[in-house]
Amino acid sequence: MSLASQKSSTPFQILQRTSVPLVLFTLTLTCLLFLSQSVFLPALLMVDISGSKHNAHELKTYHEALLEQVKHKQEMRSNLVLSMQGTDYRKLSDWKQSHYPFQSLLSTVSQVSRSLHNKDGDQVVFIDNIKYFPVDGQLKLNGNVKNAGPRSMTILAQLVEELRSQPFVESLKSPSFSRIEDSVGGFITPFDIQISLK
């Protein structure tokens, strides 16, 4: 071939001559990339986690599954540690908070009964029985006033007024005021007081 004929080669002829090697190179490169992606890289990039081997594709799904497990465990932990969120315990706690606490009631009633004394400073109000009905909002007191002499009904009236002035009392049903003579010549005033709680 002469130099003149080489110069007259058209781009189409050049493309025709290089097309076969270019196609072969492209096919070879594509096959090698496919083989490396599907065979060589997974074999070389295997990761051992807790005794089981995972390739790159499995790691993504394994990671998502682990995140889901962690989220579930955190929710379980939160429910155990912070068990007030939407559980039966929360409902029970709300119910309990909506009622006046029994210990506080008992403490206040005891304090009021101990604050009333006779002339000698002795305790005169004795509560025998306290019944608390939180569902009904009722508190019932049974007992008597003794060692107060003829002032027993006056002291009972003081007890009623003291209890009526407490913040937890909505209404108080006054007891019947009666005085009974005991075996040693003193007076006893029994009482049954019913309190409706706020």
Sequence ranges of the domains in the chain: 18-80, 102-197
Q: In this predicted structure, what is the pLDDT of residue 32? A: 93
Query: Phi and psi dihedrals of 49, rounded to 5?
Result: -125, 115
Tokens 């008597």 correspond to 144
Q: Which residues contact 118 (CB under 8 A, 6 or more apart)?
A: 124, 147, 148, 149, 151
Six-digit token string for 34: 């496919």
| pLDDT, tens only, 29-62 | 999 999 888 887 777 778 888 888 877 778 888 8
Is the CB of residue 172 less than 8 Å from the CB of residue 163? yes
The two beta strands, 138-146 and 125-133, are antiparallel
**Across-strand partners of 132?**
139
Is the CB of residue 191 less than 8 Å from the CB of residue 153? no
Q: Into which CATH architecture does domain 102-197 fall?
A: 2-Layer Sandwich (3.30)
DSSP assignment letter at 38: I
pTM of the model as a whole: 0.48
pLDDT greater than 80 at residue 112 = yes
Q: CA-CA distance, 58 to 119, in Å (whole number)? A: 89
Write down the mean pLDDT value for the chain: 82
Six-digit token string for 10: 């058209």
| pLDDT > 90 fraction of the chain, expressed in percent and rounded | 13
Q: Which residues contact 47 (CB under 8 A, 6 or more apart)?
A: 53, 54, 55, 59
